[in-house]
Every structure is written in structure tokens, then in C-alpha cells.
Structure 1
Amino acid sequence: MNLLIEVAAFAVAIGVLVVVHEYGHYSVARLCGVKVLRFSIGFGRPLATWVGRKSGTEWTISALPLGGYVKMLDERDPGPGILPPDLPYAFNRQHVAKRIAIVLAGPLANFLLAVALFSIVFATGVVEPVARLATPPVGSVAARAGFDGGETIVSIGDMQGADVEAVRSWSDLRWKLLDAAFDHRRVVLRAHDGRGTYDFQVDLRDVAERDLDDDFLGKLGFDQGGTLSVAAVEPGSAAERAGLEPGDTLRTVGGAPIDGAQAFIAYVKAHAGRPIVLGIDRGAPAQRLLLTVVPDSREDAQTGAAAGRIGAALGTQVQTVNVRYGLGQSVARSVRRTWDIAVYSLRMFGRMLTGQASLKNLSGPVTIADYAGKSAQLGWAPFLSFLSLVSISLGVLNLLPIPVLDGGHLLYYLVEAATGKAVSERWQLVLQRAGLVCIVVLSAIALFNDLARLIHF
């Protein structure tokens, strides 16, 4: 059943994103007076074809659904040639400004789709975890700022007390701190707990570029505070030997309260082969039990040192809030969120090229299908948010200055606009071959990462 949901969600996601991207090219090409010969969803053998009565465009659904294309009338294409009456409608005969507009229209359509989808999510409301912190690890950025755990962050501002923005959820906190970390700024987080409201100065000036990844907040010591429970227990694991069961609520470890997964995992890793005492609640009404667990010793993939592992999947129950904005605010926030994600994607790609970030961050169709299915099962709002993220990624990817992508063609036309001379066909052919090599290499890396995640090697 999950596989069917993944396949269906992936098909919907790819279909929507490809249609929107290619329709951007198509609509602007028509506005610029270019004749469009074919609009294809997918590649390879056509499965269904029909011809528009007014435009004469051939609309096609093809066998390989991973992409699509718009074929325009162009004198450079091989074939019998173009009849003289059709020459004014050829793409290559258009002014360079029109060609730039046509090329930009596809990625721009993806960004506009993301803005529209985010606006729907923000305007209708989405349930998200509140920005409540667990106890931070000693020496972390969060600990040095003075957080003890249990605080709920409500706003973020600069050191002068200006540019204060409300923080309404955990994802809101993540994006605002990520933006500040990219700029290596110091910020002030306002938070409250049961005793009062306080300001905390968070110094992000020394955050390394390589740490700005999916686990960004965790590396700073910011972990979601909530109730930790056991979701599943691996057969033959240390957790099973100790008597842990799915549904157990973790209350204490080594006599100290547990309020976040990150601190608990760090504690377990630091006690490889050494017994630890867990305080748990089991059943209803809850019965408090003390269990002794001896974590198995495994080699840490990053440090190579021995690390403890008990073999239990964890779940966190967190306080949630329904985040909803007015229409104007929703559109404004959507534009800002789309811009932030696009800039983050570009910076991440740049760090991968310079070796500051791992190529493991590249994902392919298998990972996209997996996340599409998971987000669809969570509800329409997570699925629309997922579509927005992938749409932005597709727009950014196509703007990269790699020949065969929109960004490569854009580079040619910008050179032509600046020099008054088109890039020679010989150079275009050479660069196109280099671009194909780049795409093949990136696709191979992304597919390898997909398989590595799938079979855990």
C-alpha cells in the first residue's frame, strides 16, 4: 500500500512540476511570436498525441515520464528546412531579449508555483511543532547562549533590538536561524518558560559552512523539546534484551530527566558497553519502571570512535500550533520562503563543488518518490509544501550555467547580448558535450545516494 502511495504521489509531483515548467516556456514563446511544434510530457515513444486546432502544436504524453520538453520552430534543427512564410516565427530569428525571456520562463514558472502553493498552505493553516527547546548539549551554541531547556522561542531580532520577527513554529525558527547563520550574524532570541520571558544572545559568526545541512539545528544544540517514547525495538538489540517495548515513554536516563531525542542519543553513544539506567512509564495507568540497558558498541561512521547503540526507534510527542496567516501575509511570506530556499540551494550546491559539503546531499528520483509518499500520507499541506520545495529545486537546477540546461542557454544569450555576437555553433557543440557529461555524473551520484539510503550502506 505504501509503495502504491509513493508511486502515485511521485507521478503527481513530477507531472505537475514538468507541466508547469514546460508551460512557462510554451506560454512565453507564444507571446513572443514563436511557433511551438511540440509540447511533450516525458521522453521517448509517444503514448498519446493530439494537435491543437488554433496553435497547431502537437501535445504528447511519452513513455519515460522523468521530464518533458517544448520543441520550437528553429532553423538549426536537422530536417527538410522551414518554409519562407514560417521563418519569422522561428526561435533563432527572435531578438536576443525574447530568447532570454523564453528560457527564463520555465524556471520562473517553478518559482511562481512554489509561491502559490506556499501561499495556500500559509493562508489555510498548517499544524506545526512549537519552537520549544530540549536541554542543549554542554558546550553547544544553544548552551553558551544560556538556554537550559523547556524555553519556547517567540521572536528573533538583531543585536540592536531592531528587525524583530515573530517565531511561530519550529520550522519558522529553523529558517530564520539558517538565514542568520549564512550571514554569520549574532541574533537575539526571545523566549519564555514557566518563570518569565528572557532574551538570549546567539552567536552564529563562527558556524562552519559544512554544518549548514539538514541537521543544522542539532549541531547548534537546538533540539525539539517533548515527550520521548519508543516507537519500535529491533530484534536481538540491547533494547530488547533490557525489556524495552514499543509504546514505553522515556522519562529519565542516568537519573536525569529526558526532554529531547538529541541529548538522549548523545548519552547513549557516550556509554558504549556500559550500563545505563532508564526510567520509563508503561501502560495505562502509567507504571514507572527502571530498566538497565547496556548499549552495544559500534564504530561511529564520522569519527571512527566507539559509539553506543541500543537499537530502538524513537518518537517525540511535541506541543503543536496551527500556523495561519492572512492572504497578504501569506503571499509575502511565500515569496520570502521561496527566495530563502532558492538561495540556500545555490549555496549548498556551491559548497558541494568546493568540497565544503558532502555530495551525499544530492538526491535522485528514488528519494523524491520516498518523500513524496511520506508527505502525501501526512496530509495535503505537507504534500503541497513538498511540491514547493521540489519546484524550487527544479527551478534552481535549471538556472545553473550548464549547457543543455536552461541556464546554459541563458549564458549563451547573455554573452550575445553583451558582445553583439552569438556563441559559435562549434563552441556550443563542445560545451553541450561537456554539459551532458556534468548531467550524467550528477545523475549517477544522485542515484548512488538513493541506493545507499535504500539499502543502508
Structure 2
Amino acid sequence: MVSIISAIIVLGVLIFVHELGHFLFAKLFGVGVEKFSLGFGTKVVGFKRGETEYLISAFPLGGYVKMVGEGGDVELSEEEKARSFAAKPPLQRIAIVAAGPVFNLLFAWIAFIAVFMIGVPSVTTKIGEVVKDKPAAQAGIKAEDVVTAINGRSVDRWDEFAKEIAEGAGKPVSVQVKRGDAVHSFTMTPETRTAKNLFGENVTTPVIGVVAAGDVVIDRFGPVDALLKGSVQSWNVVKLTVLSLVKLVERTVPLDTVGGPIMIAKMAGQQAAAGGASFIAFMALLSVNLGILNLLPVPILDGGHLFFFFIELVTGRPVSQKTREVAQQVGLVLLVGLMLLAFYNDIARYFVGQG
């Protein structure tokens, strides 16, 4: 039940943010908005304010903003035509459509900044295990030692320590540790280890043969540091998301890693149980994914519409209605296929046990 409620909150917030981008920019450019809906299909609840009806609809995996002139063959008055989406110049239509994905990316950026201000868990440099016959053991490092510096640079978090080893490219390193009240220095040459990275590819990295004790502290940052770290984290997640899509197309990442609403619900429940910062970070991660996916030049997605508008901007004339209709049908088939794949993977992963 917690997972379902958490998933509803996550999807509701992200869909609202996305549609709010379209809505605000439509209003900015004088486009009439008839409906603002969270969800598709049958109206569950709603109210009307001004010309806009605000709805929550039955099918929660999406939402829409219906602007004047969109859908149906209703005859428009001259005033309505002037306030329709189609009557606006290409640059304004591009801004309205792009605002949805951009708002998702902005939401993720703000969320990551908030996470760093709330506090993020970090592993200290206390060593829990020294692997026998590896460089660290041969040099004399012991379990319970706390790494304080590497190559003269102070470190107090495990990720900093691991990064220094990895960036050393296998060259000899000097490791300073605190053992009780004493400080000791050791010099060793890392050995290489081949392991699979996040995408299942074999990568070779230098290691010295130590395992973190797993002591965790919560690091909280002031607004300026949180802004910097949140910005870096946002950019890193954007790059990782784009790279993941490329790897998926290349089939480096298998298709069975694609997840759907069941996986989102399960992960949302886990992150909610882990605490507020984890839950917000999970929303930020999904928001980046939603923003990037919607910018793909696939008909029916925002990116597909943007593609046609850019063609119009360059050529000076809109893409023909017939071409757009065919493209929309192709895009719908691709989108339905992706959704079916996600549902299949979810069922195999959580109910059949094949994932």
C-alpha cells in the first residue's frame, strides 16, 4: 500500500510539473487553455475556473493540456482562432511544447539542491576489510584503519578516496591512515581489476584491495554549496540518462532492464521508507528521465512535435497534415510497444521471477 501511495505521489508531482510548463507558457503567449488534466480518460474529479477545466482523470500514467483549437472539428470564431495554439508563430509553439520537459529538468535541479541541504548519506574512509595478498595488505594497512590522506591530499569520504585511486592510473600511491592515536603512511602500487560497470561493460580499474567499513554520516550543505553540488549532480544524471538511452539502442544495455509502473511503485516505496531525502532524490531522477524521454524526436512525444516545428521554422511552411498523421501513428506504435515491454519486464521481474 505504501508503494502504491508513494508511486501516485511521485507520478502525480512529475506529471503536474510537466503539464504546468506547457500551461504557463501557453498562457504567456496568449493561447487559450480549455483543459488541464492529470491522467487520461474518464474524468474522476475536477472544477472549472475561468475558461480552463482542471481535472484528475482515471488513467494516471500521463496528463495533458488541451489548448484552444486542438482536437475535434469545432468551428472557431475569429477571436478563438487568434488564441489558438496553431495560430502562434513557430518559436512560440516550440517554447510551449519544450516547456514541459524543461520544467521536469528544472524540478530535478531544484530537488537535488534540496537533497544536499536536507542531508545526503556518505561513507567514511574507515576500512572494514583488507583483502589478503593485495597491495594494501602487503604494505601493512589493517582493518579499522581510517584513511586521512592520499598522495598528500586530505580525504574523509570513501568516494573521494576511491576516486583518487582510480584517477591515479595505476601509479604508486601514498596512503596516510590513522590507527588509534597514531598516524602511519604507506606506499603501494595498485593492481588492476576488471569488473562490469553500470551498463554491463567490462572496465579495468586500479585497486589496492580494501573494503569500506560502511560507517555512514549525513553531510548537510549550505545554500551555495548545495547549489553547486545540486547542479553537478543534475548534469551528471542528465549525461547518464542520455548515455543509458544510447547504450539501450546499441543493445549494450539489455531490453529487460526497462521498467514500468510496477517497478516505479516498488522503488518509490523503498525510497519513501529510506527517508525524505532519498524519496526526493528518486523523484529528481525520474523527472530527468521523463524530461529527456519527452525530448526524443519521436512523433507523439514533445520531441516529435518540436522536430516538426523546427522543420517549419527552417522551411517557412508547416509539415503537411498527412505526414504528421502518419508520423503520429508510427510514434503511437513505438510508444505502445515500449509500454508493453515495460509491463512485460515488470511482470517477469516481480511475479514470474525471471527478471
TM-score by length of 1: 0.65
User: Could you tell me which of 197, 202, 207 is aligned with 1:211?
Assistant: 197
Contact residue 43 and residue 67 of structure 1 kept, 8 A: yes
Q: Per the alignment, do residues 403 and 200 of structure 1 end up closer, same or farther by CA in structure 2, a change over 3 Å counting?
A: farther
User: Could you tell me which of 431, 447, 450 is aligned with 2:346?
Assistant: 450
Contact residue 260 and residue 342 of structure 2 kept, 8 A: yes
Question: What is the identity, as a one-letter code, of the residue corresponding to 1:193?
Answer: V
Q: Which position in structure 2 is the counterpart of 1:274?
A: none
d(CA) in 2 for partners of 1:223, 1:432: 54
For residues 262-320 of structure 1, what are the alpha-carbon distances to aligned partners after superposition, in whole Å with 9 as ceiling and x for unaligned?
A: xxxxxxxxxxxxxxxxxxxxxxxxxxxxxxxxxxxxxxxxxxxxxxxxxxxxxxxx201
- Quote the offset at 1:77 in angstroms: 2.9
User: Could you tell me which of 39, 53, 58 is aligned with 2:53?
Assistant: 58
Contact residue 147 and residue 177 of structure 2 kept, 8 A: no
- Quote the offset at 1:89 in angstroms: 1.0
Q: 2:347 is paired with a residue of what secondary structure?
A: helix
Q: Which position in structure 1 is the counterpart of 2:13?
A: 16
Question: What is the identity, as a one-letter code, of the residue corresponding to 1:350?
Answer: V
d(CA) in 2 for partners of 1:362, 1:410: 25
TM-score by length of 2: 0.82
Q: Which position in structure 2 is the counterpart of 1:367?
A: 263
Q: In angstroms, what is the RMSD of aligned CA positions?
A: 3.9
d(CA) in 2 for partners of 1:217, 1:320: 27
- Quote the offset at 1:333 in angstroms: 1.3
Q: Which position in structure 1 is the counterpart of 2:306?
A: 410
What are structure 2's unaligned runs of at least 5 residues? none
Q: Which position in structure 2 is the counterpart of 1:327?
A: 223
- Quote the offset at 1:431 in angstroms: 1.4
Question: What is the identity, as a one-letter code, of the residue corresponding to 1:5?
Answer: V
Q: Per the alignment, do residues 367 and 130 of structure 1 end up closer, same or farther by CA in structure 2, a change over 3 Å counting?
A: farther
Q: 2:37 is paired with a residue of what secondary structure?
A: strand
Contact residue 149 and residue 225 of structure 1 kept, 8 A: no
Q: Which position in structure 2 is the counterpart of 1:89?
A: 83
Question: What are the residue-to-residue correspondences of 1:96-175 with 2, within 5 Å?
Answer: 96-130=90-124, 168=157, 170=159
Q: 1:328 is paired with a residue of what secondary structure?
A: helix
- Number of aligned positions between the proteins: 344
Q: Which position in structure 2 is the counterpart of 1:43?
A: 40
d(CA) in 2 for partners of 1:112, 1:78: 33
- Quote the offset at 1:218 in angstroms: 11
User: Could you tell me which of 60, 64, 67 is aligned with 1:72?
Assistant: 67
Question: What are the residue-to-residue correspondences of 1:307-386 with 2, within 5 Å?
Answer: 318-386=214-282
Does 2:335 align with 1:439? Answer: yes
Contact residue 141 and residue 186 of structure 2 kept, 8 A: no
d(CA) in 2 for partners of 1:147, 1:447: 52
Contact residue 154 and residue 168 of structure 1 kept, 8 A: no
Question: What is the identity, as a one-letter code, of the residue corresponding to 2:85?
Answer: F
- Quote the offset at 1:436 in angstroms: 1.2
- Quote the offset at 1:106 in angstroms: 0.8
d(CA) in 1 for partners of 2:313, 2:249: 28
- Quote the offset at 1:126 in angstroms: 2.8
Identity, % of aligned pairs?
31
Q: Per the alignment, do residues 27 and 125 of structure 1 end up closer, same or farther by CA in structure 2, a change over 3 Å counting?
A: same
Q: 2:341 is paired with a residue of what secondary structure?
A: helix
Identify the structure with the greater helix proportion.
2
Does 2:188 align with 1:193? Answer: no
d(CA) in 1 for partners of 2:307, 2:149: 41
